[in-house]
Amino acid sequence: VFYFIMYLTTVGITSVNDPRDAWHTGFWPIKSLIWISCLVVPFFLPTSVTKFYGEISRFGGGVFLFVQLLAILNFVYWWNENWASETNTHKCQVYMLIVSFVTSAASVFGLIMMYIYFAPRVACGVNIFLITWTLILVLLMTGISLHSKANAGPMISGLISLYTVFLCWSALVSEPSSEVCNLQPRLMGRGEWVTLLSFAFGAFTLVMATFSTGIDPKSLSLATKESDTDSKIPYGYGFFHFIFGLASMYLAMLFLGWNLQHTIEKWTLDFGWASVWLKIINQWLAVGLY
C-alpha cells in the first residue's frame, strides 16, 4: 500500500523541477509515518479485507514474476552486448566462451542432480516430465544459438539455460513435503534458500532495470530545449515505486502461499503445487521470449 501511494504521487514526473520531485527525495518523517501506519493498520482490519488484498497480491505477484523475467533477460542481453562491444574484442571473446562453458556445465550438473533428488523412481512421472522437458528446452536453446543466423551467441543461451534449470529446481523444491518423489527435504533441508536466492537475484536485476529506465523528455513532446536535458530525472520514479509495490505482493505470496484456500505448513516458504506450476510457466515464458 505504501509503495502504491508513492506511485500515485510520483507517476508522470519527468523533471527535477516538478514540485513532486521534492516529495520523492525528501519528506522522510511524513513518509516514515505513512509506512509505519501501513504496517500497523492491517492488524486491525477485518479478515474480508485481508483476503481481498490476498487476491490482489496473487495477481500482482504474478505480474512481478513476469517483470522480473523481463529484467533478467534484459540484463543477460545487456551483459552480452557490453562484452561484445568492448575494444579488446579478443579478450572479451575468451571471457564469453568461459561463461558459456561454465553455464552449460552448471546446467548439465543441475539436470543430473534433479534426476537424482526429484526422480528417484519411475513412478515420479510429473517430475521426470518437468526435468526432461527442461533438458529439451536447454538443448533447443543451445541449438538455436549455434545456428548461422543467430546473432546472440552461445553466452546468452548458456545463461538463459542455467536460469531455466534453476527455475525447474526451484519449482521441484516447492513441492509439498508429503510428495514421496522429493528427496531433497530429507537429504538437503527444506530448500527455502532456493526461493530466497531466486528473489534476491530477481530483485537485483529489477533494481538495475529500474534505475536504468529513465524517462526521455523528447518522447513526451515534439520539441525539447537543450537546457531541459540537465533537469530530467535519472530514472522513472513512478515505475520504481510500482515495481517495489509488486515485489511486496510477491513476498506476501511467498509467506502465505499462492493457493489462498489452503494454508501452507508452518515455518515453510513458498510451498505448494500452485507455486510449482507458476514457476514452470515462468520457465516456459523465459524460453519463449528467448
When the pLDDT of each residue in the chain is averaged and rounded to a whole number, the result is: 78
CB atoms within 10 A of CB 260: 15
Quick check: 172 pLDDT over 80?
yes
Q: What is the DSSP letter of 264?
A: P
Q: Which residue has the cell 482490519?
A: 45
CA distance 173 to 213: 34
Residue 149 φ then ψ, to 5°: -90, 0
pLDDT of 251 over the 50 cut: yes
3-31 average pLDDT score? 86
What is the Cβ-side half-sphere exposure of residue 181, based on CA atoms within 13 angstroms? 19
Kindly tell me if the per-residue pLDDT of 221 is higher than 50.
no
Scanning the structure block, which residue is given the C-alpha cell 517483470?
67
pLDDT band at 263, cuts 50/70/90?
low
Q: Which amino acid is at 219?
A: S
* The pLDDT of residue 20 is above 70: yes
**d(C-alpha 287, C-alpha 290), whole Å:** 5
Query: Is it the case that residue 185 has pLDDT exceeding 80?
Result: no
Dist. CA 210–CA 212, nearest whole Å: 5
Whether 187 shows a pLDDT value over 50: the answer reads no
Cα angle: 182, vertex 187, 193; to 5 degrees: 80
Name which residue leads in pLDDT, 21 or 32. 32
pLDDT at 23: 87
Q: How many other CB atoms sit within 10 Å of the CB of residue 100?
A: 20
Buried b (16+ CB within 10 A) or exposed e, 126-151: bbbebbebbbebbeebbeebeeeeee
Read off the pLDDT of each residue in 225-233 and give the average, rounded to a whole number.
58
Percent of the chain with pLDDT over 70: 74
Q: 270 and 57 in contact (C-beta within 8 Å)?
A: no
Coil, strand, or helix at residue 53?
helix
Domain housing 55: 2-289
pLDDT band at 259 (very low <50, low <70, confident <90, very high): low
Number of domains in the chain: 1
| Measured CA distances, 272 to 84, 245, 255 (Å) | 42, 24, 11
Helix, strand, coil % over all residues of the chain, rounded to 5: 75, 0, 25
pTM: 0.75
Mean pLDDT of 270-290: 84
Confidence of residue 137 (pLDDT cuts 50, 70, 90): very high
Surface-to-core class of residue 10, CB atoms within 10 Å of its CB (0-12 exposed, 13-18 middle, 19+ buried): buried
Reply yes or no on whether the pLDDT at 269 is more than 80: no
